[in-house]
Amino acid sequence: MGITWLMIYRNYDDPNVELAVERMVNWVLTDGQGINNSLDYTRIPQAVADRARQAVDAALGE
């Protein structure tokens, strides 16, 4: 098992970029997990993914 880091800005000058970042993170932590086996990656445990999504939402002021 490895560690994955996700670094995002708290503020974006362009609201469209902020929305795209939020959508990308959401996809990686949900539907994107479906391709992990084909890439020889392990799935992120659901509890960890949920905490990561909450942290991103908080960082982006959601």
DSSP string, 5-48: -----S--SSHHHHHHHHHHHHHHHTGGGGGTGGGT-PPPPHHH
Q: Confirm whether 53 is domain-assigned.
A: yes
Query: For the whole model, what pTM was predicted?
Result: 0.78
* Residue 50 maps to a domain: yes
Residue 7 lies in a domain: no
CA distance linking residue 35 with residue 42, whole number of Å: 10
Q: Is residue 34 part of a domain?
A: yes
Residue 47 lies in a domain: yes
- CA 17 – CA 1 distance, rounded (Å): 31
Q: In terms of pLDDT, which residue wins out, 12 or 5? A: 12
Domain boundaries, position 38:
15-59
Looking at the 3D structure of the chain, how many domains does it have? 1
- 25-42 tens-digit pLDDT: 999 999 999 998 898 888
